[in-house]
A and B are shown apart, each in its own frame.
Chain A
């Protein structure tokens, strides 16, 4: 089946630092999604990407849909303590509503 790989698996950074994480797949996806999950909660959608090469920002977050459609990255600038959590990349194979395939996640810890 389709699999997504995320790196790094975990990160420990100082408050104020920038963060970069990425996601790769052996399959081509039509949609890339980035979610954040806090402990005990459901994932919250951060950014959705629909076109190869698309670069989208949401506040301090920036994500890009790779040209090959097999990868995506997420950057967080000037990290703050509330950025702590698990970040999941996810992809959809279909061009319309479709099940979401999740990566294993990147755990982010921010040291004040």
Chain B
């Protein structure tokens, strides 16, 4: 049973470009969460999604960031017009219906030049 998959593992973008981060939850999991981790800090919650619905986006910056979890395919975190401050590790986690425990993917490390 494969775990949470994220790709790419590393992403380099120049300022002003778009970054697309993908997350495939564990099989059977219908809840996806995105977190951001700056160097030497804990993870900060960004957004919680179920299939085709955003449940809680209280941690998402108001501009340039968006997330989706379509009926088919992976969840996507999109960052438009990236800036240097967006450089961080972005982690996706998934959980099954009704469960507290979240299982994390290996993360995508975004570097903005």
User: Which residues of A approach B to under 8 Å, CB–CB?
Assistant: 4, 31, 33, 35, 40-45, 48, 50, 88, 92, 96-105
Contacts and interface: CB of A to CB of B under 8 A. Distances in A.
B12 interface: no
Interface in B7-37: 31, 33, 35
A-B pairs, 10 with minimum CB distance: A42-B104, A102-B42, A99-B45, A102-B43, A104-B42, A31-B100, A43-B104, A42-B106, A42-B107, A42-B91
Given A42-B91, A42-B106, A99-B59, A104 B100 contact: no
Nearest to A30: B100
B2 interface: no
Interface of B: 4, 6, 31, 33, 35, 41-45, 48, 56, 58-59, 91, 93, 95, 97-107
Given A40-B106, A43-B104, 12 more contacts: A33-B100, A35-B104, A40-B107, A42-B105, A42-B107, A43-B43, A88-B43, A97-B31, A99-B45, A100-B33, A100-B93, A102-B42
B95 A97 contact: yes
Nearest to B98: A96
Nearest to B44: A102
Given A88-B42, A88-B43, A92-B100, A99 B56 contact: yes
A105 B42 contact: yes
A7 to B, nearest CB: 14
Contacts of A4: 42
